Amino acid sequence: MESTSPGVAQAAFAAVLFIGMLALYLLRFARSWRWVAVTLFVVILDQAAKALVRPGIEHERISFMGGWLRITYAENWEQGFGGNVTYIFALTAICVLALYVLYERLFRARYRMSSIAELAVALMVGGYLGILLDRVRLGFVIDFLEVGPASTFVYNIADLAVFLALALLVARGVQFIRHRWQSSFRKPQEAIGWPKTQ
């Protein structure tokens, strides 16, 4: 356990940096304080579910929905989907720097988050906080959900919150790009007085 402490400390520091930057986005660009409730809900649900899962059931694998959902117990000692600490820290630093550069531009443009973006970032903060709490308290992350008939991965509520957040951000990004693309075609027509289609 002592040999993993420096790695855990570095991973925790990287997580705090990333969570801090996401929280800054919410504090500055969110339209309301609903994100606080979403974040707390994810953290509480994640930690409560992990508290109910006890070591010793990893050989039982309690099944639901015809085996498509199984509850087990697993200790995840890996950092960030198997990456080493140096890789995770470097990747986090790049992401934080990119988010800071983007933050400056959005701040000058007086950007406000859409409801989807606000929900996504709140879910991500809650998910990463749940993972961080495990790393700090235990040195590993408790996983307990297997999805699919032949799953090779075990998840937890925090993981699912982060995955949902990423899906929402991608959907919002596609929506934003499509809107900008459609606007770029409308403006030249309106500028030269073309009639609008009925």
Is residue 144 within a helix (H) or strand (E), and if so which, with residue range?
strand 141-147
**46 among known catalytic residues:** no
- Among 159, 165, 168, 172, which one carries the catalytic annotation? 159
- Among 128, 143, 144, 145, which one carries the catalytic annotation? 143
φ, ψ of residue 157 to 5 degrees: the values are -60, -40
CA-to-CA distance for 16 and 161, rounded, in angstroms?
17
Look up residue 83 and give its DSSP letter. B
CA-to-CA distance for 102 and 45, rounded, in angstroms?
31
Cβ burial of 155 (10 Å; 0-12, 13-18, 19+) is middle
What angle (nearest 5°) sits at the alpha carbon of residue 101, between those of residues 96 and 104? 120
What angle (nearest 5°) sits at the alpha carbon of residue 55, between those of residues 147 and 10? 80
**159 among known catalytic residues:** yes
Residues carrying an active site annotation: 143, 159
